Amino acid sequence: MFVAVNDWECLQADAVNAFLNASMALRASGQKVYVQQPQGYHKGDKDMVCELPNALYGMKESPLLWYLTLLKILEKLGFKPLIWDKCVFIRGTGKNMVIVMVYVDDFAVAAPTKQQAQSVLTELTGHFQLKELGDVHYFPGCRIVRNREKRAVYITQDAYVEKTVKSYGFEGAATPSTPLPSEKLSKFTGTAGKGELKRYQALVGSLMWPATQTRPDICYSVGLLCRFLANPSDKHIKAVQHCLRYLSGTRKYALSYIANPKGLSKEEFRGASGSADLTGYTDASKRWKQEVETRGGNKRRNKQDKHINI
């Protein structure tokens, strides 16, 4: 959203063999790790082992060591991680600000100009090999479409949905207009077979990623379907297939981040955003029995919700 509003440039790159760049010296225990000599390579006595200087794919610690190595490199380059998101790094302020977003070995670099973003990629190339991919288009696994004129960003998972629908044989199936059928779902009193159980869990699992990333319209439906993962009936299997068919028909849906969707003038937009009164309600961890507040013009005693004014 920040990139869209400010019409910044955003470049993408992949780290080549990322985990192999992770230093074993950063292990919390400080202990050294040794491995057997690889087949076809022998040096010294046959019982001699090799000290491992960098991480290998398949090691439990490799992802953490890669992050710690990357953190050390970025801090050396002047970047600082955000407090609320340790995979987003910022350097500089104003027109000199550069933002680096990291997802394992995927990098997205945002800056006011393409030269500034490219400069950061060049700096990183001095520490490990990068494969530059140009303007950001997939990150991570989500297709990103930009409309520079409207200062808008659209994020969709249409490719993932198409692949999932095809894997379950639902391409070309009738598309319902809602994520779930109108019939109420309830607990199954029988016992699901192993095949039905495995299939149901796989189907629900395939819906989890879009539900939590780009498709809030199926979030409640997937949450409801998750309640029956331990013992689904044929009715539940038909319901999750219904949701998948809905997703297939709406696979082009995308999250839209638009700087000024109402087309307000600069003065109107600043006035509207400056005078916004944002109120949120969330589940509370304790009861607030004595709090009295106004919601929708009606006073009521708040017993279970936490009221937040910003």
Q: Say yes or no to pLDDT of 3 above 90.
A: no
pLDDT in tens, 150-202: 888 999 999 999 999 999 999 888 899 999 999 899 999 889 899 999 999 99
What secondary structure, in 3-state letters, does the chain show? CHHHHHCCEEEEEEECCHHHHCEHHHCCCCCCCEEECCCCCCCCCCCCEEECCECCCCCCCHHHHHHHHHHHHHHHCCCEECCCCCCEEEECCHHHCEEEEEECCEEEEEECCHHHHHHHHHHHHCCCCEEEEEECCECCCCEEEEECCCCEEEEECHHHHHHHHHHCCCCCCCCCCCCCCCCCCCCCCCCCCHHHHHHHHHHHHHHHHHHHHCCHHHHHHHHHHHCCCCCCCHHHHHHHHHHHHHHHHCCCCCEEEECCCCCCCHHHHHHHHHCCCCEEEEECCCCCCCEEEEECCEEEEECCEEEEEC
Contact 90, 77 (CB under 8 A): no
pLDDT of residue 43: 82
More confident residue, 128 or 42: 128
Of 65-74, 78-87, 105-114, 138-147, least confident by mean pLDDT is 138-147
The predicted-structure confidence for 196-255, as pLDDT tens digits, reads as follows 999 999 999 999 999 999 999 999 999 999 999 999 999 999 999 999 999 999 999 999
Q: List all residues 6 or more positions away from 85 whose beta carbon is below 8 Å from its beta carbon.
A: none
What pLDDT, on the 0 to 100 scale, is given for residue 290?
46
Q: What percent of the chain has pLDDT over 70?
A: 84
Q: What is the pLDDT of residues 44-87, one digit of tens each?
A: 887 888 889 999 999 999 999 999 999 999 999 999 999 999 99
pLDDT confidence of residue 265: 64
Q: Where in the sequence of the chain do the CATH 3.30.70 domains occur?
A: 2-26+54-135
> Given pLDDT bands bounded at 50, 70 and 90, which one contains residue 302?
very low
pLDDT at 283: 58
pLDDT at 143 over 90: yes
| 59 Cβ contact partners less than 8 Å away, ≥ 6 residues apart | 19
Output 89 or 4, whichever has higher pLDDT: 89
What's residue 198's pLDDT?
Answer: 94
Q: Give the per-residue pLDDT at 272.
A: 54
The CATH label, of 3.30.450, 1.20.1540, 2.60.40, 3.30.70, for the domain at 2-26+54-135 is 3.30.70
Kindly indicate the confidence band of residue 268, based on its pLDDT and cuts at 50, 70 and 90.
low
